[in-house]
Amino acid sequence: MSKQKPTRPISRPRVKDDPKSLDLDKNSEEAAGQFLTSNQGLRINDDQNSLKLGERGPSLLEDFILREKITHFDHERIPERIVHARGSGAHGSFQVYESMAALTRASFLQDPAVQTPVFVRFSTVAGSRGSSDLARDVRGFAVKFYTGEGNFDLVGNNMPVFFIQDAVKFPDLIHAVKPEPHNEIPQAASAHDTFWDFISLMPESMHMIMWVMSDRAIPRSLRMMEGFGIHTFRFINSKGKSRFVKFHWKPLLGIHSVLWDEALRISGCDPDFHRRDLWEAIENGDFPEWEFGIQIVEEKDEHKFDFDLLDPTKIIPEELVPVQRIGKLTLNRNPDNFFAETEQVAFHVGHVVPGIDFTNDPLMQGRLFSYTDTQLIRLGGPNFHEIPINRPLAPIHNHQRDGFMRQMINRGHVSYEPNSLGNNDPAQAPARDGGFVSYAERIDAAKTRARSKSFVDHFTQAAMFFHSQSPTEQGHLINALRFELGKVAAQPIRERMLYQLSQVDDGLAEKVAAGLGVKVPVKIDGPGNMSIPADVNPKDLQSKKFTGKPFISPALSMANTVKDTIQSRKIAALAADGCDDGELAAMKKALMNAGAQLKVVSPHGGSITGSSGKAIPVDFSLLTVASVLFDAVYVPGGDAHAASLSHEMKAIEFVEEAYKHCKAIAATGAGFDFIKMTRVGEDLEDGDAKSKSLVNHQGVIGGRSAPIAKVATAFIEAIAKHRAWDREQKVSPIKEPENNRK
């Protein structure tokens, strides 16, 4: 019964043809137009005062309304995830381009007409739930497909390899990277002694270290990163034939990152930068999209590579086995409620459907245990699959019963199998009716605790990654290592790390060492690998230093990514009273036509008055934002506006910071004079400020009298390139080391 007609529309648009959206509606609550009630449905008359003995007297135990409210509040928190605590989620759908029946019988990969609802959760790994989005870290990329045959969870990361080869080392890795136990410092950061101590003793992590020290660990947006299933899985077709498969997500906007210096600033200006970006993009209708990619390896080719397909510290270079793009994931709806959906969603590598199966990757095997186990404590019992976000669209029928918070009301008196009293229902499903049959892999082996010799080469692919990076990316990676190891207090750990890096590449180690003011040791005390069982000779598990010619995989470099779109990019227009509103409007139109947004940033909030006397609404005051929150900056003309910006320290900083971070900067009219008086001007080549010619130099675009249409076109091209990296050599060059070996 409602109080009156709802005065406001329901908060989020429903997706009528999305079955999961409709399913969630069964549990959704909408307060508009309703009376306030207790949890028993009792209407509350006074939510301002507790029940007291007299106006100034003590509260009464009888106040069941107070007690209910406070008790519920007292129990609002659940444990955060032990890893991947900080996350952001979104709903969407997946569609395959054409039937994959030849490779897999998975029903959601058969019919291009079928849209499978999905829920995706992105996360960082090390930080707590409230930590900054911009930590240097791996990003989780977990996708729950609500298929007709049950849920399939692809619980991946934005990097295709992992630190360790065997699940038994996972608690050690996580203990090492988490804040140190004596003082709980640092939050969401790997730049500390325990992490690098562990890593320096575990050379198997070296390939992953290349990835996490690269800019992949500080994405520009969750929408602009790749995703990987990491482990080798199996695809099984309806004839029972198995093939190995690696899963990929390829973002249609390309793979882009911020600079570390920006990441540090963003963490202060807007620690929710990624979460906000994802949320706003979806609200604006800029639906994030990824293509689903697969790499297929025939069973007979299992051993044809110089690495082991079961080793999660290795990739199959795309140049050896191309990634086939077989479908598309689109995120199109923000959650209604963070806790109910993003926090309570429970992923599990073991949630598979017929047609997808596991391999013996020892990391994956451990994960198959961990995910259900962790939900038992985090979500409070064995019925977490009944939480609406986790509930499959496929019906559930089994003999599992009871437990905390059971929602399902199972009818009948039979809860065992076989039974005659219930006609032996629910019945087991033959394979032809979708019954899951594990792949009958043949194994003839002795029981052992051992690492396969085929897992021992730790440096070849690390070298491949490093050498496949552009010089700019290599520079960032070196600087990241200098930063991280620079925060390590124990000198022996730094030295051991430099030694490990020298096993990948001497030049890399020497450059990092130059930044630390430490020499690269030629040898170290004890074995390079300390992850060795008590009775094994360390020599048997030493990886050889990489000395050959590295394999170059262009797919590993972000320099080769998509650079022809500015869709959903956020550009700041730095404007004060008197700015040329004609130019501002023309630039806004050009950018919006290209799919981007222009936000007016001014010395104060409210509105400013343009040169024609029009009021221009201000999106942000300079106090509340910084240029690190934008992709590019435009400064329009207007003498009074340019003069006031030139007296505004924050405006100068805004442009200079964008310049330092190699962002596209455009300026017209007196706006061009303004940027010339900042650090940007030192490097401009334009001698004639009056000329109509267009300056277009390392991402700085414009001119005193350059036509706005031409400026806009060149600006859009420059933004699409993401950054003018050639500028970086000038702004912050990497110093070449002198003799740095000891």
Closest CB to ligand HDE among 142 and 714? 142
Smallest separation, CB 383 to ligand HDE (Å): 16
Pairing assessment for the beta strands 615-617 and 632-635 based on DSSP bridges: unpaired
CB of 81 to ligand HDE, least distance (A): 4
Query: Nearest residue by C-beta to ligand HDE?
Result: 140
- Shortest reach from residue 204's CB to ligand HDE, in Å: 13
Which residue, among 525, 530, 526, 501, has the nearest Cα to 513 in the 3D structure? 501
Q: Is the peptide bond before 538 cis (omega within 30 degrees of 0)?
A: no
Q: How far apart are CA 465 and CA 501, in angstroms?
A: 13
Q: Which is nearer to ligand HDE, 161 or 718 (CB)?
A: 161
Among the listed residues 564, 563, 577, the one whose alpha carbon sits nearest the alpha carbon of residue 636: 577
Residue nearer to ligand HDE on the CB measure, 228 or 499: 228
DSSP 322: P
Q: Which is nearer to ligand HDE, 374 or 713 (CB)?
A: 374
Taking the C-alpha atoms of residue 309 and residue 303, their distance in angstroms, rounded to an integer, is: 8
Buried b (16+ CB within 10 A) or exposed e, 371-408: bbebbeebbeebbbbebbbbbbbeeeeeeeeeeeeeee
Structure tokens at 178: 């988490």
Cβ burial, residue 546 (10 Å; 0-12/13-18/19+): buried
H or E element that contains 570: strand 570-574
Strand order in the sheet with 570-574: 620-621, 597-602, 570-574, 632-635, 664-668, 700-703, 695-697
Residues that bind ligand HDE (CB under 6 A): 81-84, 87, 121, 123, 140, 142, 155-157, 162, 167, 170, 230, 345-347, 363, 366-367, 370-371, 374
DSSP summary character for residue 327: E
C-alpha distance from residue 46 to each of 38, 65, 481 (Å): 11, 10, 59
Query: Nearer to ligand HDE by C-beta: 132 or 232?
Result: 232
CA dist 55 and 346 (Å) reads 48
Whichever of 241 and 378 has its CB closer to ligand HDE, that residue is 378
Peptide bond preceding 426: is omega within 30 degrees of 0, i.e. cis? Answer: yes
Q: Which two tokens stand for residue 540?
A: 């048997």
CB of 373 to ligand HDE, least distance (A): 7
Contacts 24+ apart (CB under 8 A), 643-648: 643/670, 644/576, 644/577, 644/578, 644/603, 645/574, 645/576, 645/603, 645/674, 646/674, 646/677, 648/576, 648/603, 648/622
What is the length of the chain? 742
Looking at beta carbons only, is 174 or 555 nearer to ligand HDE?
Answer: 174
Rounded Cα distance between 650 and 622, Å, is 7
Closest to ligand HDE by CB, 312 vs 671, is: 312
Q: Which of 72, 75, 151, 157 is catalytic?
A: 157
* Separation in Å, CA 75 to CA 87, 96, 385, 387, 522: 21, 43, 21, 17, 56
Give CA–CA dist 529/199, Å, rounded: 10
CA pair distance 598, 566, nearest whole angstrom: 12
Q: Which of 84, 256, 351, 661 is catalytic?
A: 84
Closest approach, Cβ 344 to ligand HDE, in A, equals 10
Q: How far is the CB of 243 from ligand HDE (least distance, A)?
A: 20
Nearer to ligand HDE, 129 or 697 (CB): 129
Pick 352 or 645: Cβ nearer ligand HDE? 352
> Minimal distance in Å, beta carbon 347 to ligand HDE?
4
- DSSP string for residues in 502-560: HHH-HHHHHHHHHHHT-PBPSS-SS-S-----TTS-GGGGPPPPP-SPPPP-GGG-GGG
Task: Supply the minimum distance, in Å, between the C-beta of residue 131 and ligand HDE.
Answer: 15
Q: Which helix (H) or strand (E) holds 467?
A: helix 460-468
Closer residue to ligand HDE (CB): 366 or 426: 366
Q: How are beta strands 607-609 and 615-617 bridged, if at all? A: antiparallel
Distance CA 40, CA 49 (A): 19
Q: Min. distance of Cβ 206 from ligand HDE in angstroms?
A: 16
| Residue with smaller CB distance to ligand HDE, 107 or 334 | 334
Considering the complex, what minimum distance in angstroms separates the CB of residue 153 from ligand HDE?
9
CB of 734 to ligand HDE, least distance (A): 31
Indicate the residue type of 195.
F
Task: Report the candidate in 221, 269, 261 with the shortest Cα–Cα distance to residue 625.
Answer: 269
User: DSSP code of 257?
Assistant: B
At closest approach, how far in Å is the CB of 292 from ligand HDE? 16
Q: Is 479 a catalytic residue?
A: no
Q: Distance (Å, rounded) from C-alpha 582 to C-alpha 147?
A: 52
- 128/370 with CB nearer ligand HDE: 370
Q: Is 157 a residue of the active site?
A: yes
Smallest distance from ligand HDE to CB 290, Å? 15
* Active site members: 84, 157
